[in-house]
Amino acid sequence: MARTAVLGFPRIGADRELKVALEDHWAGRRTSDELQTTAREIRAANLRTAVNAGIDVLPVGDFALYDHVLDTAEMVSLIAERHGGAGAVGLPAHFLACRGADGVAPLEMTKWFDTNYHYLVPELTAEESFSLRAEKWVAHLAEAREEGFSAVTRPVVLGPLSLLLLCKGVPEPLTLLSDLAEVYGELLKALAAAGAREIQVDEPCLVLDRTDAELDGLVDAIDTLCASAPIEVCLATYFEGLDGKVLRRIERLPLAELHVDLVRAPDQLAAVLEALPAGARLSAGVIDGRNVWAADLDLALDRLDRIVERIGTDRLTIAPSCSLLHVPYSVAREDGIPREIHEWLAFGHEKLDELSLLARAVGADDGDRDELLVDARRRTAARRVSRLTNDEAVRARVAELRPYDYTRSRPIEQRLAAQHERLGLPELPTTTIGSFPQTPEIRAARRRRRADELDAESYDAFLREQIELVVREQEALGLDVLAHGEPERNDMVEYFGEQLDGFVFSAWGWVQSYGSRCVKPPMLFGDVSRPGPMTVRWWQAAQALTERPMKGMLTGPITILQWSFVRDDQPRRETCTQIALAIQDELRDLEAAGAAIIQVDEAALREGLPLRGSDQDDYVRWAIDCFRLTVAPAEPETQIHTHMCYSEFGEMIEHIARLDADVISIEASRSGMDLLDVFREFDYPGEIGPGIYDIHSPRVPSTDELDRLLELAEQRIGRERLWVNPDCGLKTRAWPETRAALANLVEVAHRRRLVQPEVQA
């Protein structure tokens, strides 16, 4: 009989218990033991839910207090010297790497493949040595048994190849692979001694374009692991398919199981079956671990039937496509979603039920299968024909688009000249990315408004007070271009989705972005349009308070797409074009109201890049086109900004230039401005604001540190095109650190204006 498995669970807790516990611990309100107790309760609840759903194989060791990549690095004693080095132990050292401290920078953070999860980037040195620290994995294995779970408990660990490829610091990290594989072999011995029968080794980097040398190194590493201990090795890949080069190596490996993503890459199935090692199980990822829509179980069963026909049910494991880290816990408690749409949804717990149902159906005869699937088929059919998903006016507007609708009226050189004349900004203009601290008072007022404890008039008055506070703070700091602070916005995507047709929202649909940072993505179920203005009145309220230019703040179509749970019944390009037209309507209204600067944030542009090079050009073309469509109507003297965070631009800098934004701001502080090296070789036509203040850490950067980063930026870009700003919005920070850091930022910009540029060469 086929078995069911889960590759990983959400780890924030159904009520965001981990977020609360972490932030209490960092604030000194909760001890380390109390934090660990909360973490254990979350792990036990995850396992209990899976057991109750009938899941056969349960993951352990996938849980992390902050980030699983960091945990894996610490497992092999890969710890930066500034964070204590290989001898560092305990939570203070752990969180030092995550968050930094005065005078100590944290690890760089970047996106986990093409998801909105952020991982911490381990740092290698050429002389790196590894040693095993397996306590977490052994403890979590023992803990599951102490809790009474009798199902197969399978430790999960990020594999040695992917760990090295996700690191930074050395040009050829795979020279360290052999030594690292030996330490992983020691891990398998420790887990076997602790009673583990199998281990899940995640190698997501295998779905990227890999060299022969990298793949040969993987073969040697997996051979080392498989020979190290009497424990089954289950190799897990996800987010894309495996190409022929990878599969030719995999068929020679002594694996017990291979997991593949048949949601993202169903076309790989035939080749995977041909290359499956003799006697190995195939773990078929047929339930989408990254989206919230109920599965088409007939489509999933079609794939499973093909597998069973080839290798039988005994060698089949039915699984989600990837870890359930990327989806919320349960839709059952969502009572505010329209009933028709509610039936189309499956969060984490419901996906477990889908797995169990598939396991029963895959071996059933036609009659029993029909009986098992009657409800699922009804929901799938209802969604296909629902009028809620189709707006003929929206589709007609998209169909009428022509090439000139994607182009601004004048080239960037002429626009910048007109903007400089209109704005009259000084050299090295200072600004922020947009949001300011979401204080407890703001969050409390928002909760009271949603609970109808605060009427609309009182809530509006409160928001205007908050906007005035932010404007006065910025004026006192001496910033040149202001933002209204966004107190009315809970999230940069959710805020817009709440005011656009085609979206629906959950009350409990939280997912982890990084550490204690959680987001609640909108669910985009239908055609998108804008019923009315969304931001104009707040911009007008802010601009009326000051003579300095006030940015209009919009979230771009690509980011809204990427940071939503997107409908899977039409091409993403079509959906993104609809969003672009809706945001274009808002941009027109802001400009008509007098906004001289409008920022259209595309934080997720790079994140959406397909993992395979062969698929990237098509995405980049339509994604850039959607941004251009959004901003094309802006007059030449209206300055268009965009913000992109955690993006490595080298491979797509020409495409970023095609955005045709007047000013781009990017994250660069944690990389020490290394991300700007591409601008030495590429003559970017617009102006650039590399973030010099890392807002993802509570530490306040000194003026010396900011001055050094600004000097590095000036060497790469040139002062005449340089803006000075933080690397992202400030909503997660507190006012004392925000005020101090921005004061240092402004001081550095003012100081450098007095220095002749040629002195800095």
- What residues are annotated to the active site? 696
Residue carrying the six token digits 């880290």: 325
129 phi-psi bin (left φ>0, alpha ψ -120 to 50, beta other): beta
Can you state the percent helix, strand and coil of the chain, rounding each to 5?
A: 50, 15, 40
Q: What angle do CA 485, 488, 494 make, to 5 degrees?
A: 110
Count of Cβ atoms closer than 10 Å to residue 720 Cβ: 10
| Distance, CA of 464 to chain centre | 32
- 540, two tokens: 């007008």
- The Cα 154–Cα 323 span in angstroms is 13
Cα separation, 280 vs 496, whole angstroms: 48
The token pair that represents 245 in the structure block:
């080069």
Going by C-alpha positions, the residue among 322, 305, 216 that lies closest to residue 269 is: 305
Distance of CA 599 to the CA centre of its chain: 21
Other Cβ atoms less than 10 A from the Cβ of 556: the count is 32
**Half-sphere exposure for 611 (CA within 13 Å, toward CB):** 21
DSSP secondary structure letter of residue 425: P
Rounded to whole angstroms, the Cα distance separating 635 from 596 reads: 10
**Measured distance CA(181)–CA(218) in Å, rounded:** 9
Q: Which amino acid is at 478?
A: G
CA distances from 270 to 29, 107, 289, 591 (A): 55, 41, 22, 54
For residue 747, the one-letter residue type is E
CB 79 within 8 A of CB 125: no
Directed axis angle between helix 613-631 and helix 572-593, to 10°?
30
3-state SS track over 140-207: HHHHHHHCCCCCEEEEEEECHHHHHHCCECCCCHHHHHHHHHHHHHHHHHHHHHCCCCEEEEECHHHH
Place of tokens 């203040």: 693
d(CA 570, CA 567): 7
Amino acid at 643: H
CA 454-455-456 angle, 5° bins: 120
Residue 121 Ramachandran class (φ > 0 left, ψ -120 to 50 alpha, else beta):
beta
Tokens standing for 396? 């007609």
Total residues found in the chain within this entry: 761
Task: Catalogue the long-range contacts made by 710-715 (C-beta closer than 8 Å, 24 or more residues apart).
Answer: 710/428, 710/748, 710/749, 710/752, 711/752, 711/760, 712/672, 712/673, 712/676, 713/668, 713/673, 713/676, 714/752, 714/757, 714/760, 715/760, 715/761
Q: Quick one: DSSP state of residue 561? A: H
Q: Give the C-alpha distances (Å, rounded to integers) separating 346 from 23, 52, 54, 378, 382.
A: 30, 17, 17, 15, 15
Positions of E strands within 231-367: 232-236, 257-261, 281-287, 316-320
State the residue for tokens 């169903």: 266
CA gap 732, 737 in Å, rounded: 11
The pair of structure tokens assigned to 152 is 């197969």
